[in-house]
Structure 1
Amino acid sequence: MDTSKHTMKALFQQLGLPASDTEIQTFVRNHKLFSASVKLEDATFWTEAQASFLKDALMDDSDWAEIVDELNNLLRG
């Protein structure tokens, strides 16, 4: 069982992305989902592994689902 704290920083680390506050802000600023019809996991900027992780987190309502939802909202804001 994964007992690690599920934060945005931890999510970015899980996805293999730079995870400092500045790097997360830069990622969000540079990667936007403007179309409501595009699912988070279908965005073109994810690798296949990243997209799979995000999709599974949401579909399985895993411990990561809440923070993945938060990322989804940030990328649409």
Structure 2
Amino acid sequence: MLLQQPTMQDLFAQLGLDNSDEAIENFVEKHRGLNDSRHIEDAPFWNDAQATFLRSALLEDAEWVEIIDQLNAELHH
């Protein structure tokens, strides 16, 4: 269990992605515009492990939920 609220950098590291500020910004720019009816964990750019992690974190209301919700909002913007 994490002792503090995870950051966006923590989330990207957990997903096995480059977690530098520039890489996160590029990722969001590249994938922005998700259809409003598509859930973040069902986005086509995740691999199976990433989608499973996101789905589990959301279902379990884990400490990751707040930062996943933030990424979700940015991707749907």
What's the TM-score, normalizing by structure 2?
A: 0.92
Query: Where in structure 1 are there 5+ consecutive unaligned residues?
Result: none
Comparing 49-58 with 3-12, which one deviates more in the overlay? 3-12
Q: Say if 2:44 is the partner of 1:73.
A: no
Which structure has more relative contact order (CA 8 Å, sep 6+)? It is 2
Q: 1:64 matched to which residue of 2?
A: 64
Cα RMSD after superposing both structures: 1.2
1:33–1:43: 8 Å Cα contact kept in structure 2? no
Which stretches in structure 2 are left out of the alignment for 5+ residues?
Answer: none
Instruction: State the match for 1:9 in structure 2.
Output: 9
- What's the % identity of the aligned pairs? 47
Q: After superposition, where does 1:38-49 map in structure 2 within 5 Å?
A: 38-49=38-49
Q: Report how far residue 3 of structure 1 moved.
A: 2.6
TM-score (norm 1): 0.92
C-alpha distance in 2, partners of 1:65/1:34?
18
Q: What code does the residue aligned with 1:25 have?
A: E
Runs of 4+ in 1 over 4 A off after TM superposition: none
Distance in 2 (CA, whole Å) between partners of 1:42 and 1:76 is 13
Contact 2:18–2:24 (CA under 8 A) maintained in structure 1:
yes
d(CA) in 1 for partners of 2:20 and 2:4?
18
The one-letter code of the counterpart of 2:16 is G
